[in-house]
Structure 1
Amino acid sequence: MTDSLFILRLSNNNLSGNVVPAILKANGVKNVYLDGNSFSGEMTNIDVSTFEFPILLMKIDLSNNKLYGKLLRWIGNMSILQTLDLSNNSFEGSIPMKFCSSTYLKFLDLSQNNLSGSIPSCFNPPHIEHVHLHGNRLNGPLPLAFYNSSSLVTLDLRGNNLNGSIPKWIGTLSSLSVLLLKANHLQGRIPDQICKLYSLSIIDLSQNMFFGPIPSCLGKLTLPKTNEKIIIRGNFGLVSEKDESTIFGLSKLGRLRNFDYLTSYMEEWIEFTTKSGFYSYGGYILEDMAGIDLSSNKLTGQIPPELGNLSEIHSLNLSHNNLIGVIPSSFSKLKQLESLDLSYNNLSGEIPNQLVELNSLEVFSVTHNNLSGSISEPKAQFGTFDESSYEGNPFLCGPMLHKSCSKTDSPSTVSTASNDGDEDSLLDIYVFRVSFLVSYAVMLVTTFAVLYINPYWRRVWFSLVEKFITTCRYSTAGNFLAYYIFRFRRCV
């Protein structure tokens, strides 16, 4: 192989075989893109100390192949490695501790493999920007590996078995723009420290077991647009037009033409659920994306009105929680919002009419809540939503739901309160009567018991009764009472 070969790109072909030894022995090659082929075999541990020249690979992309076995420990010996993509293969075992010595590593993608164990706590490259480990079987709590990592832009740990809570040191990741923790076993409260991440634009904490209220401070996030998410930058050195001859490219995407294209070839891509679908965002589309997904947790309390300050947000999903209260009217300020999902909660009250001002809204769902009143007037974007956006709210009404909002057809708050009041009145009367009869019976029993047991009070009682009879002796009641008093005295 020629010593002048600088970049080898054979992506998206039908190549097969074991490619690792050939890569390592390619003198002078710094960037290797062999993704999207059928390379197979085990990534055996090779003794790189026996090589006649140092390994100067800076970028390795072996994603979307059929490689298997344990991850290669010799990667830690690549002193200038900046980009490593081994995603969508069948690697297994744990992440080797040797990865901790990858000082210049900026991009790491080991997603969609069968990796297990915990993330090494020593793994904290000083220049790391993008970490993708989703779709594995990694477990344990979030490690200190990323503590105080000021360069980290993307942290994608979705679809693993991570547990514990989000540590408070999350606030030290000052450059973090994308935080994806979906579908793990994380729990606890969402810490306020997450609000210190002023560069955050995409947050996905869905399908976990977080509880407690939604931090109101999330409304302070500016959801900035950032170019740092787009290109995985690396030090290619200076390449002039005459150096194009050093580039060997046979990929289906065509011949590489200039240095700008080389630097942007490997773009940052993330996956995010919005608009009732699962989408991939990369390049300049990712640059413009901003969203928050807190769905399928155990969050409680009211929706913070402060979320209405997220003016740049495109997607907000708070569905499948235990949220109560009303839908904040401040949501009318979310002019960029394209998807709003508040379904499967315990929200009450009316849908704010101000939401009709959301002209960018494409997907809207408030299904299965306790909302009441008339739905928003079907104009602008709200004219595109059908009854499926409102089902599961028995007290909502309106022409779209084929249900009149008249008092006879829809129970209003006043009539409901009146009915409740009538039921309460009947209940109070019933309770009063029962308690009166019981108290009267207890008084009689107590009186007769005292008279029977205590001679003193018995004499006093009969004395009073005799005076009463003397006063009323000419009445029928007096004669009747005298007869029974006489009988009672004989008994006691």
Structure 2
Amino acid sequence: MLDLTANNLHGGLTTQALANLSTLQVLNLGDLRFNGSLPFQGVCKMKQLEVLDLSGGNAFEGTLDACVANLTLLRVLDLTGNMLSGSLSAHLISSLTLLETLSLSDNSFEGIFQLNMLANLSKLKVLELADMNSETFQLQTETSPWNASFQLQELEFTSSELNSPAKTLPSFLSSQTSLESVDLSENNLVGSFPSWLLLNSPKLKSVYLNSNSFTGSFELPFDLNHHHHHMDQLETLEIANNKIQGELPRNIGVFFPNLSSLDVSNNKFGGQIPESIGEMGSLNSLNLAINNFSGTLHDHILNGCLSLTNLFLDNNQLNGTLPSFTNLPNLSFLTASRNNFQGSITKEFCGPRFFMILDLSFNNLSGTLPSCLNMSTLNLQGNSFTGKIPEASTNLWVMINLSGNKFTGNIPESMYNLPHLWYLLLAGNELQGQISNQICQLKNLQLLDLSHNNLSGFIPSCLNIQISEEMEGMTESIPGVSSRIVHIISMMQLIIILYIQQMQKVQFTMKSSPLQYQGYILEDMSALDLSSNQLSGEIPYQIGDLFVLHSLNLSNNHLNGSIPKSFKNLQAIESLDLSNNRLSGQIPLELQHLNYLSVFNVSYNNLSGRAPEQAQFGTFGDSSYKGNPYLSWGVSNRGNAALPPPAPVQPDEVNKDDSAIIDFSSFCWSFAATSVTILLAFLTILWINPYWRRAWFYFIEGLLLKCFGKFLEDAFY
């Protein structure tokens, strides 16, 4: 055995390095950083080899050598996560009759792989052919009739163009009764939802059928008197992003008593949420988002889910009041946006828990914002910590989104005591009062949206949005112990990023139209939106210190004074909207250096002077400046709704007609100056040289006689 797994070895692997290992039985080089060609000539000399694992972290290139077919004692062949290419021949694979594990995922293999070439591999238990980085790879299971001699335990066919173009479910699965894990995600498979796949494999622990096109209903047997009708082993069931309709089975919680993760999001499920879900005592994550579930979410439905950590109910038709969630001490993620929930958020709802994300946006919630949101605590009982626990560890909120409701009153000061808060979204409510300077305590805040409220007063001059001040100072109070807290929080942050990346859309209003940002928000966006309030006073110049700001919207307020020159420091800014205020003075020329600025609006203010025209400002149209009676701006390169956009210039046409890109205003001034210069030069020549002066007069006389001779003759004679 030679096992070098998970080290920092890198570089190439030569045939000479393997030449003398002819009696090796196990070669494990996984999770390294090897690259270059794989030395098959050296590998193939190991006639006794039973395990060949080169998976994960490597980047071996080339094609599978035909000599691999001679390694007839191989039980494990794992080449996952490399850059191997070429086709997979039937001769190469079918001769390895002792194979128990065949993992070739995440390579660049090409062509059609027909599964019937594995028909004689009777010992095969693990089969992974997923996520090929090739446009031509296709996995066909229905090429011709064949009988599988193996009983698989693990099957992974994700993103493999499975049975294209028919997109049918592999028929050989009907005879697989020993499956423990099956993943057929992202193949766009069609047909009715395969409930039989669950019923035929009682040993299943995980099922992933996400991102297909299954239709019909999700049915389970209702006769639960026999033990074999319970799937006690299943822990994960994910069938998101399909077209499944009807209601969830009423007995789903009894049929899957040990389920840890249930994801049925983005389907067409309707009706009420089954009460039997409360029987799932091991349920950790429940995702019912983007469906048509209706009715009231009663307290008792989730009372038995004591392990529930993540609950996603977004985009349904649920109504009534929110449950108190007092019996869910581990709840960390709660998203229920775009429903019809009513009532207020009570203190019982807050409770001491490890909350990270709360999204109740776009409901009909009312009352004042809860003042108990800083009560969330991290349970550190049963340890032997010494010293003082840092206050930062007791407020672990990362995202609060209560936008689009009917909340009234002031923003509670408790929200300013959440030092790890990244996103605070309270837009579209009826909040009043001033923005407290205490908001500047949110040192990790990256996205603040308080737009469309009735907030008044000044914009805090200390406002700051920073990136990567993660957990600063947390390791000072509890040496050696708080690092564990930091690790827990960091892991939760990764989960939050995945949630935002896959589900969450954060919407802002820029230039009177909604813009949606979706994706890896932590690195790609930070935004400040205070638009449509009653804010007054000058714009703090300190906002210019927000170097990573991507969008700033202060429109529709009562702000006065000038546009701060410090805005030149907003080098990442893409959208800047200051419209509908009382700003005066000139637009700073320094803003011309904002190279990423694509949306700029200062309309309906009291600005004066001339607008910048260089760089990005050469693309902004009249709508960016109108409503400023003392402001002038050029007309070249401006957007005009009445004219079609110019055709794109091809690279070989750039130098053919430079006149096409001459600014019209500059052309007029240049033409006038040139004409005056020529006229003065001509008059100077006539004044100095009498010969040319006489010639000029004779020329004019002849021209007059030619044009008006007949008229003059009739007039004088």
Pair 1:181 & 2:410 matched: no
1:36 is aligned, of 266, 269, 274, to 266
Partner in structure 1 of residue 591 of structure 2: 355
State the one-letter code of the partner of 2:534: K
Match of 1:143 in 2: 370
Question: What runs of 5+ residues in structure 1 fail to find an aligned partner?
Answer: 235-262, 405-492
Aligned residues: 369
Which deviates more, 138-147 or 193-202?
138-147
**Where do residues 419-458 of structure 1 align in structure 2 (5 Å cutoff)?**
none
The Cα shift of 1:223 comes to 4.3
Q: Secondary structure of the equivalent of 1:312?
A: coil
Aligned mates of 2:360, 2:499 — CA distance in 1: 22
Structure 2 equivalent of residue 69 of structure 1: 295
Q: In structure 2, do the counterparts of structure 1 residues 36 and 268 end up closer, same or farther at CA, with 3 Å as the change threshold?
A: closer
Say if 2:398 is the partner of 1:153: yes
Q: Which has the higher helix share?
A: 1
Q: Which residue, out of 72, 80, 84, partners 2:307? A: 80
Q: Secondary structure at the match of 1:217?
A: coil
- Alignment-derived partner of residue 104 in structure 1: 330
CA RMSD of aligned residues (A): 2.6
Over 3 Å counting, the alpha-carbon distance change for 1:264 and 1:270 in structure 2 is closer
**What amino acid is aligned across from residue 16 of structure 1 in structure 2?**
Q
Whether 1:9 aligns to 2:272 is no
TM-score normalised by the chain length of structure 1 = 0.70
CA distance in 2, matches of 1:332, 1:193: 27
Q: Using the TM superposition, name which of 65-74 and 126-135 deviates more.
A: 65-74
**In 2, Cα distance between equivalents of 1:266 and 1:348:** 40
> Which sits farther off after the overlay, 158-167 or 385-394?
385-394
Structure 2 CA distance for aligned equivalents of residues 90 and 264 of structure 1: 21
**In structure 2, distance between residues paired with 1:87 and 1:225:** 30
Q: How does 1:216-295 map to 2 (within 5 A)?
A: 216-218=461-463, 220-224=464-468, 231-232=494-495, 267=502, 269-273=504-508, 275-276=510-511, 277-295=513-531
Q: 2:9: which partner in 1?
A: none
Whole-angstrom distance in 2 between the partners of 1:71 and 1:209: 32
After TM superposition, give the deviation of residue 294 of structure 1 in Å: 0.3
Distance in 2 between residues matched to 1:88 and 1:133, nearest whole Å? 11
Residue in structure 2 matching 1:58, options 279, 284, 287: 284
Of 300, 319, 344, the residue aligned with 2:536 is 300
Change (3 A) 1:356 1:43: same
* Aligned-partner Cα distance in 1 for 2:375–2:286: 27
Q: Partner of 1:425 in structure 2? A: none
- The reply on whether 1:386 has 2:621 as its aligned counterpart is yes
| Residue of structure 2 aligned with 1:133, choices 360, 378, 384 | 360
CA distance in 2, matches of 1:130, 1:318: 26
Task: Give 1:162's aligned residue.
Answer: 407
Pairs within 5 Å for 1:393-408: 393-400=628-635
- C-alpha separation between the residues in 2 aligned to 1:349 and 1:292? 23
Deviation at 1:103, TM superposition (A): 1.0
**2:303 is paired with a residue of what secondary structure?**
helix
**1:333-352, CA deviations, whole angstroms, 9 ceiling, x for partnerless residues?**
11011110000001011111
The question of 1:312 aligning with 2:548 is answered yes
What displacement does 1:35 show? 0.9
Secondary structure class of the residue paired with 1:382:
helix
Residue among 457, 461, 464 paired with 1:212? 457
Distance 1:101 1:193, change over 3 A: farther
- Report which structure shows greater RCO (CA 8 Å, sep ≥6): 1
1:389 Cα shift?
Answer: 0.9
Q: Is the CA contact (8 Å cut-off) linking 1:91 and 1:113 kept in structure 2? A: yes
Q: Give the Cα–Cα distance (whole angstroms) in 1 for the partners of residues 573 and 288 of structure 2.
A: 37
- The alignment status of 1:113 with 2:339, answered yes or no, reads yes
> 1:27 is matched with which residue: 244, 247, 257?
257
- TM-score in terms of structure 2 length: 0.49
Q: Which amino acid aligns with 1:130?
A: I
Aligned-partner Cα distance in 2 for 1:373–1:155 = 42
Matched letter for residue 14 of structure 1: K
The structure-2 alpha-carbon separation of the partners of 1:233 and 1:194, relative to structure 1 and needing over 3 Å to count, comes to closer
Q: How far 1:70 moved relative to its partner? A: 0.7
Per mean C-alpha deviation after superposition, the further-off stretch among 78-87 and 16-25 is: 16-25
What are the Cα deviations for residues 30-50 of structure 1, in whole angstroms up to 9, with x where unaligned? 1111011222212365595xx
CA distance in 2, matches of 1:90, 1:191: 36
Q: Unaligned stretches of 5+ in structure 2?
A: 1-229, 377-394, 471-489, 639-663, 666-717
**What CA distance in whole angstroms lies between the structure 2 residues aligned with 1:4 and 1:46?**
18
C-alpha displacement of 1:106: 1.3
Report the CA distance between 1:268 and its aligned residue: 5.6
Deviation, 1:286, is 4.5
CA 1:23–1:45 in 2, change beyond 3 Å: closer, same or farther? Answer: closer
> 1:338 and 2:574 equivalent?
yes
| Residue in 2 that maps onto 1:191 | 436
Distance (whole Å) between structure 2 residues aligned to residue 168 and residue 126 of structure 1: 19
One-letter amino acid of the counterpart of residue 138, structure 1: L
Secondary structure (helix, strand or coil) at the match of 2:439 reads helix
Aligned-pair CA distance for 1:202: 0.4
Equivalent residue letter for 2:451: S
The change in CA–CA distance for 1:338 and 1:232 in structure 2 (over 3 A counts) is same
Question: Residues 250 and 275 of structure 2 are in contact (CA less than 8 Å); yes or no, is this contact kept in structure 1?
Answer: no
Greater Rg by CA = 1
Aligned partners of 1:265, 1:144: CA distance in 2, in Å? 26
Deviation at 1:225, TM superposition (A): 8.1
| Secondary structure class of the residue paired with 2:302 | helix
CA distance in 1, matches of 2:508, 2:467: 17
Confirm or deny: 8 A CA contact 1:223 1:310 kept in the other structure.
no
Contact 1:310–1:334 (8 Å) recurs in 2: yes
Q: Give yes or no for contact 2:367–2:408 (8 Å, CA) kept in 1.
A: yes
Q: Which residue of 1 aligns with 2:142?
A: none
1:34 aligned partner, one-letter code: V
One-letter code of the match for 1:320?
A: N
8 Å CA contact retained: 1:123, 1:146: no
After TM superposition, give the deviation of residue 148 of structure 1 in Å: 4.3
